[in-house]
Structures are given as structure tokens and as C-alpha cells.
Amino acid sequence: MSHFSAAFDWARHQVKSDRLPSAVLGIATADGTVALDAFGASGPRTATVDDHYALFSITKPLVGLVAARAIERGLLTPQTPLVAAIPEFGSLRDDVVRLRHLVSHTSGITEPPLDPVAGLRESLLVGSRDFAAGAASRYSSIAYEGVAALIEQATGQSWIDGVSKWANEIGADGFTVDPACDAHPVADAGAAGLDVDRFQSLQHPGAGMFARASDLLALGSTLLRRDGVVQPATLEMMLRPLTGDVPRLEPYPVERGQDWGFSWNLRRHDPALISTDGFGHGGWAGTEFWVHPTAGVTYVLLTNQALRPGVDTAQLDNAIVSGV
């Protein structure tokens, strides 16, 4: 762990300075976990390295892997239109929304809150068009309700079953959508405007999973080795930028220096980072999961604070890459 002391000092400082209530930081290579520690507490509950946390948007690449496995089986392609699974979608649109648009935030589907009262499918269907499919990029969680529909139509299984299948293959059995896993609560969920009970009841394919640090580290190590979950060529497909030169709209403008691949956030041009070959995702409550192939390292930060002024995770990324 001494190689990564700066990274763990960073996590410890965020908790001691009350920027984060708790944190679990884990680092792995292709050979497995090399460093793991927990800091802080949620009220009277002290954080441990085996605790579950809500992943929120880290759910997206987990679901993207299920879709990519269906592509490998010849059941989908990135060009498959959403109407193949939901014929009534887009009846008032004059464009075609395809799987590649859904996973790259270029679908133009108007985004509802994470906890829509109407439910996910209704919100997907009634939303107006923000822009023509492929014409711009604006971050979208509701688009993954479309990804989930395509997965179910093509494979006959839910996205949840699809994640469980590949997760069990790599020994990561902690991925779940069941709140009974006793995840650390998001300290300021109500203040940030989230109805937690309604949100959890949705089992949101863009934000609904819980996991332990060890589960994500197992996935990261597998992706570094390129020997599981998806074939190496499929992972390369997932890491090809799909946003190109289209306008990047809030909350991720072009200045953020990133592209979107097939469900992965690609930080190819991030001016704050030492290493820009990373792929991964962050989550609404501060969770982070990143893989750096050149450095041969992957890491996960699990935490539970939606509003995080002063927390700059680029500092953490740089400390980890520098510790290799």
C-alpha cells in the first residue's frame, strides 16, 4: 500500500475535513487487489472495506457490458433501433434512435429526474426531443431504460440477470439492486432532491445498482487482463469514441475533455489528468470507477455524498497513476 500512500492520504483527508462522510478506496492491477482501506462513518456506522454502496451511474457501463455481450452473440448491433424493442417509441420524432445513441448520451431524449413519479418507461415514451439523434451529446440516464428494453427483447433476460451472469463468472457476487444489501445511505440525498424510496423501487438501469469495492476491483482487473466478461475486440469497440465532434451540452461541456464510448466515459482530453487513457464512470453520490490500461491499474472510490464542494477526484486519479 506504500506505493499508493498519497492516494489513501487524499481519501483520509476528504473524510477528516468533512467533505465526505465515509469512503472506501481500493486499487488493483491485472493480478488483483493491491490496496484497500475504509475511512469514516455514516452516523454511528463505521465504514468497512466489505460494505455496499450505491453506485448510481457506474451502473451504466455494467449494463453496457450486458448489451455488448448480446452484440457478441449476434443478437444486437450498435445500429439496432430502439423501436425494435419499443415500437411505440418516438412516434412524433423524425429521426431514428439506435443503441449506439442510447449508450453514448447522443439520443436526444429529454431527461427526467432520477426518481420520476411517472416511472421509467412512461418517462422514456412521453419525453420530448432535446435534439436529433447523433447531433449532440447531453448526459442521459433515462436512455438506459431503452438499453434495458433492447437487452430484454434480444436475450429474453432482464439487464439485472445479465449483470449477475457476467459478475458471477468473475467472482463478483455483490452486485445487486436489492436495498436489503444494507448499503451506506447517501447522507444528503433529501437535500439534493432525491426521493430514495421511490428511486430504489425503480431498479433504474442507468443508476440503480449497489456493490462492494471488491466487486468493481474484480471487474477492473478482468478488463486489464482482457480475459473475461467481453472479448478483447469487443472491449476495443466499447472504447471507440462515439461523440466525435458533436457539441457537448451541459452538464459535460467540451471543456471537460472527455468523449463517450459504448457506455464508458473516456477521459482522452481531460486537462486535469496525468494519464488520459482511462475509461470508467462516476456516480451521483461520489462513487468513482476507473481503469488505466497503460499504467496497468484500476481503482474504485465508494462514498455517499451527493453535494461535494472541494472534492476534486482528478487529484486522486493522478496520485494513483503516479503510485504505480
Average the pLDDT over 36-59 and give the result: 98
Phi, psi values for residue 210, rounded to 5°:
-115, 155
**Domain count of the fold of the chain:** 1
pLDDT digits (tens, 9 = 90+) for 264-308: 999 999 999 999 999 999 999 999 999 999 999 999 999 999 999
Domain hosting residue 27, numbered range: 2-323
Find the CATH number of the domain harbouring 226.
Answer: 3.40.710.10
| % of the chain residues with pLDDT over 70 | 100
Tally the residues of the chain: 324
Q: Indicate if the pLDDT at residue 87 is higher than 90.
A: yes
pLDDT at 254: 80
105: left (phi over 0), alpha (psi -120 to 50) or beta: left
pLDDT of residue 1: 61
Half-sphere exposure of 23 (CA within 13 A, CB side): 29
Q: What pLDDT is attached to residue 255?
A: 79
pLDDT tens-digit map of 136-190: 999 999 999 999 999 999 999 999 999 999 999 999 999 999 999 999 999 999 9
> Whose CA is closest to 32, among 217, 286, 167, 248?
217
Q: pLDDT by residue (tens digit) across 241-265?
A: 999 889 999 988 887 888 999 999 9
Contacts of 131 (CB under 8 A, 6+ apart): 108, 138, 249
Average pLDDT, the chain: 96
Q: What is the pLDDT of residue 179?
A: 98
pLDDT tens for each residue of 105-134: 999 999 999 999 999 999 999 878 999 999
Residue 90 has pLDDT above 90, yes or no: no
201: CB partners within 8 A, 6+ apart:
none
Average pLDDT value for residue range 95-104: 98
- Looking at residue 2, what is its pLDDT? 75
Q: What are the distances in angstroms from CA 320 to CA 66, 296, 298?
A: 28, 11, 9
pTM strictly above 0.95: yes
